[in-house]
Amino acid sequence: MAGARQPAGLAALGREACNVTREADQSFVATNASRRTNHASYSAFDCLLFFFLFNVALQPLVEPDFGWHLRTGLDLLNNGWRLPGADPYSHTMPDWPWVEHAWLTDGLIGLLYQGFGGIGPLAVIMFFAAAVTGAFFAAAWLAQAGRTYRLLAVAGSLWVALPFLGARTQLVTLLGVAVVLRLWSRYRAGRLSHLWAIPPLLWLWANLHGGFTAGLFILSLILFVSALMRLCCDRWPVLAGRLDEAPPTWPALGHLALVLLLAAGATLLNPYGWRLYGEIYASLNDRFMLEALQEWQPVSLQGRAGVTYVGYLVALGVAVGLFYRRVEPLRWTLLAFFLVQSLLHWRNVLFFLLLATPLWVELLAEAARRISALIPDVQRQKQVLLGLTVVAAVGMAWEGPSHLQRVAQSGLAPEEFFRGTEYPIEAVQWIRTHRDQLGTRLYNDYRVGGFLLWWLPGEKIFIDGRMPAWRFGNRWIFYDYAAVTTWEPLELRVLDKYGVDWAIVAVGTPLNQMLAKQLEWRKVYLDSKVSIFVKRQE
């Protein structure tokens, strides 16, 4: 606020901390005036890019975990925002002290879904699209270049990120990372007040999603690398002139350390206190879960997503080799760390794509500058741009409106939409009218647990996406689920262990075939997606 007063000591610290950064006149990803390239923007091409990236960001509600997040949010609203002390949704682990690290995001989803009535699902789709586009826009606008290059970088990043988009609460963390980098960038540009937004940001983030630990880690890494750079420059002053990132002064680093400490303390202001950290630590150290779940597997070339991502990395490497000549240790460290993490775990691909976006903006601007030098004729440049615009328009027209039609149907008529997916909406509709013919303890496949919580409120499920790390006494639900679905032979005693008396099983799976052969189980429903079995009464 203009005219706001600060304590004299803090004001002096702020002036000293910002002197070097004002002289350097660069942000975390900034380039100096001699490096700035073509800032021109091209309206027609930009409009096509806007359409493309929002087309990619809008995704139907097919994320397996979305259902239980929505159910949690709706129940939060119905219960006056009171969180349950134990798991209210499964009959297998009803006494588990459930810590829902995304409780506030769940509540926001519930508000949108319930508050907008018939278009509630569409409002939720827009919420997640806004989160992911906001994150990548914030990252792209860290770079000094024209709008067209920023939009190109965002559109390309979102296209590569396509397999990881949708109604995923992780996108809230992606937005948080982008905001942290933005605040650090503004601080490096000499705006002291921006860094003080980090503690309240981390407090809010800790209640929105458990990925807030990524924000704390990035700030810690920035502090460590910046301190190391400062030490090296003090020891060898000649290094300072060779760096394209001016290392912060010691007072500035002290300021960052204080803010980081306050931010860490602010994250404890959540409904679970220290237990939130315990839940995150337990999940990240569950080897069985990490080895079993796809999102924690290393990147593989066996599918389209892996081939696309590796191709993206090759293109980035070529572009860096051709157009990048800077000495930026902090940027190198962040990119290298998240590159390794993205190759180790699919889940982290989004973070590397986000951090690489401002680099792509600068590389594209530099490439355009060099191409313009090769084609000095302005009229010829316009013809080339017109050709690119026409090609892009034809490509989008060729794809047709089918994707947006699917998104609209998902948001406006979800039951009809799910008929064209692998989710068993037909079985759900049959269950609603034949519930008295079924049992009381359900078995369901892992992937549809959240879906069933969404469409069958009040029904207790066997397992869903919340439960891979849950272990209580002799009940290790994810391990038991693997035993009954993947072992050879299948461990059917797991069903007896949990008193299961009816089951929804995907057609063609080993468990479906096994239950069909058991005399004590009878099939009461069958379609192209699932079978429903009921255990015979003794």
Residues 88-128 pLDDT 10s: 999 999 999 999 999 999 999 999 999 999 999 999 999 99
Task: Retrieve residue 276's tokens.
Answer: 């939130």
Average pLDDT of the chain to the nearest whole number: 89
Is residue 179 located within the same domain as residue 240?
yes
Does 78 reside within a domain?
Answer: no
How far is residue 219's CA from residue 267's CA, in Å, rounded to a whole number?
Answer: 14
* pLDDT at residue 395 in the model: 65
Q: How confident is the model at residue 40 (pLDDT cuts 50, 70, 90)?
A: low
Does 191 reside within a domain?
Answer: yes
Is residue 426 located within the same domain as residue 392?
no
Does 14 reside within a domain?
Answer: no
Q: Domain tally for the chain?
A: 2
Q: How confident is the model at residue 43 (pLDDT cuts 50, 70, 90)?
A: confident
pLDDT at 158 over 70: yes
Is residue 447 located within the same domain as residue 312?
no
Does 466 reside within a domain?
Answer: yes
Mean pLDDT of 400-413: 91
pTM: 0.89
Is residue 337 located within the same domain as residue 458?
no
- Domain of 233 in residue numbering reads as 30-59+99-398
Does 516 reside within a domain?
Answer: yes
Is residue 369 located within the same domain as residue 456?
no
Task: Please say which residue of 398, 413, 448 terminates a domain.
Answer: 398
The H or E element containing residue 461 is none
Does 467 reside within a domain?
Answer: yes
Is residue 231 located within the same domain as residue 129?
yes
Helix axes of 8-24 and 250-266: crossing angle, nearest 10 degrees = 120
* pLDDT at residue 4 in the model: 40
Is residue 382 located within the same domain as residue 491?
no
* pLDDT at residue 193 in the model: 78
Mean pLDDT of 477-505: 97
Whether 461 contacts 444, CB under 8 Å: yes
Residue tagged 């810590």 (tokens)? 99
Does 67 reside within a domain?
Answer: no
Is residue 372 located within the same domain as residue 444?
no
Residues 360-384 pLDDT 10s: 999 999 998 888 887 776 666 666 6
Is residue 383 located within the same domain as residue 481?
no
Residues 290-313 pLDDT 10s: 999 999 999 999 999 999 999 999
E strand map for 103-181: none
CA angle 174, 352, 196 (to 5 degrees): 45
Residue 77: count other Cβ atoms within 10 Å of its Cβ.
15
Is residue 326 located within the same domain as residue 451?
no
Is residue 392 located within the same domain as residue 443?
no
Is residue 375 located within the same domain as residue 446?
no
Does 436 reside within a domain?
Answer: yes
